[in-house]
Amino acid sequence: MIQLLSSFADLRVSALMVAALLIFLGPAGAEASPGVQAVSGLGITQTSSAGPSAARVQTATAAWSTPPTPTPTPLPPLDQPRIRGVRADIGFRLQGGLTAGVLVTSGASVALTGVAIWRRFRAEIGGRYRLPRAAPFPKTSGIAARLSIFELEGRGCGVLNFGRLTTPMCLGLSAGRWSADPVGNTPASPTAELFVGTHILMSARYEVDPHLALWVGAQGTIGLVMPQIRLDEEFTTAVDPLTPRRFGTALEIGVEVKLF
């Protein structure tokens, strides 16, 4: 009987100790870890991810683990070229003025020139006609010929731009047909010879509007191939041949029209 009472007393002490431990641990665990829930009847716990701390951890982890998606560059429309080529303005120039040299005597000239224009460069090709003029043979009296030249010209020009005013500076070649017709009783036959020269052209143009410009230029020519005009055979020993001058000049004005 005494042994039974002793065992019962030990059991009560153990129960009181367990109860005190549960009272001590229960509130502290609930306040410290709201994400820890007890599973009734099993005596185990599980961690819940529904708390705000767990959500922040998951968001930060996803931000670090997922690389940013690059923004694609929009492509240009199909009708817009990706690389724009260099475009030239195309037009022509009608000009006229006075020339000296080359044809021995001074006279008038007219020219028609096609132009391709960029901002810093231009290319020109055209034709010039030096109107006929009478030139006496050397060391003679009353013996002369009427001379004219139709020549083709090509040149390249560097351009300085000052707003509407531009100043092309050009270097080119000229090649033409130097023709002579006898005047009066001159004992000579009509003839034509090749003339080749190089030239320098200094000009200025002022744009009145985008399609029209006023032009003025001065050109100097140096002859490279110099033809000679001779009289008939019986006069060859008495009369020197007629030879064009090696240097010539031209001062002209004109109008330049841009087509497109």
Share of the chain above pLDDT 70, in %: 62
Question: Which residue, among 131, 99, 94, 98, has the nearest Cα to 114 in the 3D structure?
Answer: 94
**Cα–chain-centroid distance for residue 181?**
50
Q: Lowest mean pLDDT: which of 35-44, 73-82, 197-206? A: 35-44
pLDDT at 183: 76
**Residues 80, 85, 90, CA angle at the centre, nearest 5°?**
110
Where in the chain does DSSP place strands (E)?
Answer: 36-39, 44-47, 89-101, 107-117, 121-136, 144-162, 165-183, 191-209, 212-225, 247-258
The size of the chain, in residues, is 260
Question: Helix, strand, or coil here: 242?
Answer: strand
Instruction: Say yes or no to pLDDT of 123 above 80.
Output: yes
Cβ neighbours, 10 Å, residue 141: 7
Average pLDDT over residues 199-207: 97
Instruction: Say yes or no to pLDDT of 204 above 50.
Output: yes
Whole-angstrom distance, CA of residue 205 vs CA of residue 89: 15
What band does 16 get if pLDDT is binned at 50, 70 and 90?
Answer: low
pLDDT digits (tens, 9 = 90+) for 161-180: 999 999 999 999 999 988 88
**Tokens standing for residue 158:** 């560097």
pLDDT at 105: 79
The dihedral through the CA atoms of 58, 59, 63, 66 has a sign that is: positive
pLDDT digits (tens, 9 = 90+) for 212-254: 999 999 999 999 988 877 766 555 555 677 777 889 999 999 9
pLDDT digits (tens, 9 = 90+) for 67-88: 667 777 766 555 444 444 578 8
* Average pLDDT of every residue of the chain: 76
pLDDT at 219: 96
Instruction: Say yes or no to pLDDT of 159 above 50.
Output: yes
Give the gyration radius of the chain's Cα atoms.
Answer: 52
Instruction: Say yes or no to pLDDT of 13 above 90.
Output: no
**Which residue do the tokens 């009427």 mark?**
146
Whole-angstrom distance, CA of residue 258 vs CA of residue 241: 45
